[in-house]
Amino acid sequence: MIVTGKAMLAGVMGWPVGHSRSPRLHGWWLQNYGIDGAYVPLAVPPERLKAAIAGLPAMGFKGANVTIPHKEAVLPFLASLDAAAEAIGAVNTLIVDETGAVHGRNTDVYGFAAQLDDAAPDWATATRAALVLGAGGAARGAIFALGETGSIGEIRIANRTPERAKALIASLAPHVKSTLVAVDWKDLKSALKGADLLVNTTSLGMVGHPPLPLAAGDLHGGMIVYDLVYVPLETALLRAAHQAGARTVEGLGMLIHQARPGFHAWFGIDPEPSPTLLALLKADINGTKV
Ligand code: NAP
């Protein structure tokens, strides 16, 4: 795709930013839809974040994604937040309006739920109790998405550091309809009793990290098991879930879905999470070519 002088601009701000898969993802959509636009990596050190946000409208950008370590630090520089960003206290998508004001959204919530809808469409009616592992940024998005529907009675939260789970519950409980309960990290097997949905939002199972302390025998065939970790594509948790006959949900689909609202706002098209794009990202993660 050749970029002209009229190209629409967006990018991803992070520090470092070189690991981000977003330029590949958005670049593929731009090319696929023949859009005169560009999506670029923006390496922004923390002390320059305020200037970088002011620079978006100054340079005619439609907006940007924000990633580690800026997702929370960016809040004071924004004109408004959507409900998800407000509840979670973190932003991953910036939209510049026609007056030059910069608005913040959290599309991880949308991405989490859209991937669950794709892989297990009946999840809301099939889940009376859910167990979420972790209490970091990804957990906040997942719990907000599960809890705002009102269909899940109880969401149990197990985190290695119990204080973090309690703080998460205190800040998210007013924003969700489900009952949030902290459970003991050392007793995941008891916490799994009666749980129809298991969500891993910890970094356990990711390349370079230890696996989760769960095996096929701890899971059951009627469950849905969702792992947000997508490197490797099939984690030990998802393998164990397959062995137990449970339905599985891969984290890579969430990565694609969370990118869609930003692309739509900046470039005017709601992009398809196509099989070709999925294959491209899978090959990228596996270090192979398609
Ligand atoms: P984070 O805020 O740093 O939280 C990390 C979580 O992992 C915390 O709950 C932490 O527990 C737990 N943890 C780390 N090491 C552990 C260990 N050795 N034993 C037990 N628990 C451990 O990170 P995040 O942003 O939430 O991301 C978490 C994971 O989700 C990452 O793998 C990330 O790639 C993935 N993710 C995927 C998507 C997607 O689109 N699929 C989106 C966002 C994130 P403590 O509180 O005790 O430290």
The chain-wide mean pLDDT, for the chain, equals: 96
Measured CA to CA, the distance from residue 280 to residue 28 in angstroms comes to 9
| 272 or 133, higher pLDDT | 133
Ligand 1 pocket, Cβ-based, cut-off 6 angstroms: 108, 111, 134-139, 159-161, 164, 201-204, 206, 210, 228-230, 251, 254-255, 258
pLDDT value of residue 150: 92
pLDDT of residue 152: 97
What is the pLDDT, as a whole number, of residue 214?
97
Predicted local confidence at residue 140, as pLDDT: 96
- Protein residue whose Cα sits closest to atom 39 of ligand 1: 255
∠ CA 87-226-192, rounded to 5°: 90
- Inter-CA distances, 106 with 45, 103, 111, 198, Å: 21, 11, 9, 22
Query: What's the confidence (pLDDT) of residue 289?
Result: 58
Contact 164, 135 (CB under 8 A): yes
Residue 1 has pLDDT above 90, yes or no: no
Name the closest-CA residue to atom 38, ligand 1: 228
Predicted local distance difference test score (pLDDT) of residue 290? 58
Q: Looking at residues 176-187, what average pLDDT do you find? A: 97
Ligand 1 centroid from CA 285, angstroms: 19
Q: How high is the pLDDT of residue 207? A: 94
The mean pLDDT value for 214-218 works out to: 97
Residue 287, pLDDT > 90, answer no
Measured CA to CA, the distance from residue 290 to residue 271 in angstroms comes to 21
Is residue 71 part of the annotated active site? The answer reads yes
Whether 187 has a pLDDT exceeding 80, the answer reads yes
**pLDDT higher than 80, residue 288:** no
DSSP state of 236: H
Mean pLDDT value of segment 230-242: 96
Ligand 1 mutation pick, 201, 209, 258, max ligand atoms within 8 A of CB = 201
pLDDT band at residue 2 using 50, 70 and 90 as cut-offs: confident
Q: Which atom of ligand 1 is nearest to the CA of 134?
A: 9
Q: Please state, for a pLDDT cut of 90, what percent of the chain lies above it.
A: 96
pTM score above 0.85: yes
pLDDT tens column, 46-96 = 999 999 999 999 999 999 999 999 999 999 999 999 999 999 999 999 999
The one catalytic residue among 62, 71, 193, 282: 71
Q: How confident is the model at residue 222, as a pLDDT?
A: 94
